[in-house]
Amino acid sequence: MLLVQLSDLHVSNGFRRDMLEQAIDEVNNLAPDIIVITGDITDNGILQEYEKARSYINMLRCRNIIMLSGNHDYRNTGYLLFKRFFTPKQVYEDDQCIIATLSTARPDRDEGEVGYRQNLWLLNTLTASNDGRVKIIAMHHHLIPIPDTGSDRIIVLDAGDVLQTALEAGVNLVLCGHKHRPWIWQLGNLTIAYAGTTSSERMRGFFKNSYNIVDVHKDRIDITLKVVGGESMPLKDIVKAREVMVEG
């Protein structure tokens, strides 16, 4: 099963339109089974941005597109528009995987929150499907901080509860956006993968627009970082590259 994770498009007047168009072409050529877009589709949550963003999303050729909202989409009462322009899907299931999405954005706040009820729903949903399928959580805000991204106040407030659920339910993969920096943490059997920004100018630590290609097998998950219009590399090489950089 081939999944593409796009994130943080930040469609606005000043975003990198050429990068988004190139990424859409590349993703369509990959013909993925699922595309997950982990939030910040727009930059300010305003109507014109939503209209423009929807026209780009409509260019993606994939039957299963899962849209998540980000803190930027919720600005300026954009949370009302998100539901009008996109149909948020809580769970995607096929014979190989189950993907549960978390809504972490809150109106007019940059930090994220999952909340007791949503976390309980997550636990019940994911523990109910112990049938060998790969379990994936998708969320906008990052679950664990990422190096080189400075002060980390814009977090998911109850990250500890979500992490506990992920470990208890035997989740294989968490997909996050928000930080505009590709990264990966491996905690035992749990992989937490972060996508960079597909088409925003605001990059951190990794100064290229990118997205993630996730190849889900029964016994392993391969994640590739794809630079828009450029090279591919295993996402875990980003961690090694940083170590080399830091060690000089």
- Cβ closest to Fe ion, residue 9 vs residue 97: 9
One residue of 3, 4, 5, 8 binding Fe ion per CB under 5 A: 8
Determine if 179 is a binding residue for Fe ion (CB under 5 A). Answer: no
What's the helix, strand, coil split of the chain in %, to 5? 30, 25, 45
One residue of 42, 69, 71, 212 binding Fe ion per CB under 5 A: 71
Task: Select the span of 57-65, 67-75, 143-151, 236-244 touching Fe ion (CB under 5 A).
Answer: 67-75
- Cβ closest to Fe ion, residue 75 vs residue 135: 75
Q: Among residues 68, 62, 85, 84, which one has the least CA distance to residue 9?
A: 68
Determine if 135 is a binding residue for Fe ion (CB under 5 A). Answer: no
Sheet holding 34-38, edge to edge: 64-68, 34-38, 2-6, 210-216, 221-227, 232-234
- Cβ closest to Fe ion, residue 113 vs residue 125: 113
Determine if 40 is a binding residue for Fe ion (CB under 5 A). Answer: yes
# residues near Fe ion by CB under 5 A: 5
Tokens for 19, please give them.
């990068």
Determine if 70 is a binding residue for Fe ion (CB under 5 A). Answer: yes
Min. distance of Cβ 197 from Fe ion in angstroms?
A: 6
Min. distance of Cβ 176 from Fe ion in angstroms?
A: 10
- Cβ closest to Fe ion, residue 85 vs residue 194: 194
Determine if 78 is a binding residue for Fe ion (CB under 5 A). Answer: no
- Between CA 71 and CA 57 the distance in angstroms is 19
Q: Among residues 156, 87, 84, 146, which one has the least CA distance to residue 118?
A: 156
- Cβ closest to Fe ion, residue 40 vs residue 161: 40
The backbone torsions φ and ψ at residue 191, rounded to the nearest 5 degrees and listed phi first, read -105, 130
Min. distance of Cβ 228 from Fe ion in angstroms?
A: 16
Min. distance of Cβ 180 from Fe ion in angstroms?
A: 6
- Between CA 183 and CA 43 the distance in angstroms is 22
Question: Long-range contacts of range 182-185, CB-CB < 8 Å, 24 or more positions apart?
Answer: 182/206, 182/210, 182/212, 182/225, 182/235, 182/238, 183/146, 183/147, 183/235, 183/238, 183/239, 184/223, 184/235, 184/236, 184/238, 184/239, 185/144
Determine if 118 is a binding residue for Fe ion (CB under 5 A). Answer: no
- Cβ closest to Fe ion, residue 8 vs residue 113: 8
Which residues form the interface with Fe ion (CB under 5 A)?
8, 40, 70-71, 178
